[in-house]
Amino acid sequence: MSEYRRTFSWRKRKTTAAMVTAMDDAIGRVKTALSDRGMLDETVIVFASDNGGQPVAGAASNEPLRGGKNTWWETCS
């Protein structure tokens, strides 16, 4: 997270940026391993999110984000 100390002032934003960077690095390693084995051209890589908890059942709160499981907010504007 240290590389984001000057870039972002809000701690949660720093943490998010560090997590995204870690995911990006890991994905890069997976792609390199597939490429080294000649498998990348025949591979589909899919990323999915569970989109939080189920607020309708009262089991979770996704605040300040909207939606929850079985919603498609990421496709709406």
List, for residues 21-73, the tens digit of each pLDDT value: 898 999 999 999 999 999 999 999 987 766 667 776 666 777 777 777 666 66
Structure tokens at 51: 């989109």
pLDDT band at 15 (very low <50, low <70, confident <90, very high): confident
Check residue 60 and give its pLDDT.
Answer: 75
Domain ranges in the chain?
Answer: 1-46
pLDDT band at 77 (very low <50, low <70, confident <90, very high): very low
From CA 38, how far away is CA 32, in angstroms rounded?
10
Distances from the Cα of 67 to the Cαs of 9, 62, 77, in angstroms?
A: 27, 7, 13
pLDDT band at 20 (very low <50, low <70, confident <90, very high): confident
